[in-house]
Amino acid sequence: MMFTLGELVQQTSSLAVSAFGFSGRTSRALIATESGGQNFVSLSLNGGRNGLNRSGSGSSLISSSNGIGSKAINRGAPLVVRAAESATPTKPQQKYPGEKKGFVEEMRFVAMKLHTKDQAKEGEKKSDSPPVAKWDPTIQGFLKFLVNNKVIYDCMEEIVEKAAYPAYAHFRNTGLERSAALAKDLDWLKSQGHEIPAPAEEGTSYAELLKNLSETDPPAFICHFYNVYFAHSAGGRMIGRKVCESVLDGKELEFYKWEGDLQALLSAVKEKLNLVAENWTREEKNHCLEQTELSFKYSGKLLRLIIS
């Protein structure tokens, strides 16, 4: 269960509170249940992103100087909230869904809930557009979709190449890159006599957001990175197959092909994402998860180009 600070205050209203030192911006709160120290919820009270390292040395994924981690900046004295003996017994603190398997599972859990039921069985969102099965794609719409996706993948791949934060460098040459594949597809489509449209707002505005986040807010950027690459390998691939059948006589585009074993490529990236997130405070993790909705908003706009 995710708690905002307000909810935590409510949750702990029946608890006796004892504070052992509190140094403002850099303090963390440890909430202990009656069962003792096993069920700590760690809540960073500082804006933990403030002290992130920019590019430079030390790019080991698991060290706190990996450029995204923030362990080093949370050294303040703890504020400890203990359960009073008289408190009504409560269920053990719920973990964040997926937490045990690693942070990628947490991101996946949030993403799956943002699907509609007709998109994926774990989906919970109310549908406000027709299901993919009822889409009536056009080649013009699909070309717009491909061109604007290229804007996004070019941008993602430039970001990891430039690595404003050293940890981004670990996401170079993952095998999931789509920029070169899209370039080949657009060349082929052109050679078939199709007019390739110019990028539109759907692509350029998302690319601008990604660039800004990559420089100012790594946990938010990483959420978009995960969703862009993993959504494409899941639902995106399934959608692509259907659309290609409908508007390209079943031609299999490079965009939907990966060199090597896709599952192995995804697993390797998952592992790196988990390691990067290991250095984040709970607040940074929550901040990352909260970006999922924005990621769906922008990617949803790109997908809808197919039926425009």
Which residues of the chain form contacts with ligand HEM (CB under 6 A)? 108, 111, 115, 119-120, 132, 227, 230-231, 234-235, 239, 266, 295-296, 299-300, 303
Rounded distance, CA 164 to CA 177, Å? 19
SS3 state at 86? coil
* Closest distance of CB 119 from ligand HEM, Å: 4
* Closest distance of CB 243 from ligand HEM, Å: 11
* Closest distance of CB 231 from ligand HEM, Å: 3
* Closest distance of CB 108 from ligand HEM, Å: 5
Nearer to ligand HEM, 75 or 125 (CB): 125
Nearer to ligand HEM, 230 or 280 (CB): 230
Residue with the closest Cβ to ligand HEM? Answer: 235
* Closest distance of CB 227 from ligand HEM, Å: 4
Nearer to ligand HEM, 127 or 192 (CB): 127
* Closest distance of CB 156 from ligand HEM, Å: 13
Residue holding tokens 């390797």? 268
Rounded distance, CA 237 to CA 279, Å? 32
Nearer to ligand HEM, 167 or 269 (CB): 269
* Closest distance of CB 191 from ligand HEM, Å: 29
Backbone dihedral angles phi then psi of residue 52, each to the nearest 5 degrees: -65, 140
Q: In the chain, which ranges are continuous DSSP H helix?
A: 5-11, 103-113, 139-162, 179-191, 201-216, 218-233, 235-247, 262-278, 282-290, 292-304
Rounded distance, CA 92 to CA 229, Å? 35
18, β-bridge pairs: 80
Q: Which residues of 164-193 are buried (b: 16+ CB within 10 A; e: fewer)?
A: bbbbbbbbeeeebbbbebbeebbeebeeee
Nearer to ligand HEM, 48 or 137 (CB): 137
Nearer to ligand HEM, 111 or 289 (CB): 111
For 116, the token pair is 């509609």
Nearer to ligand HEM, 55 or 179 (CB): 179
* Closest distance of CB 297 from ligand HEM, Å: 8
Q: DSSP character for 94?
A: P
Rounded distance, CA 28 to CA 300, Å? 37
Backbone dihedral angles phi then psi of residue 270, each to the nearest 5 degrees: -55, -45
Nearer to ligand HEM, 91 or 100 (CB): 100
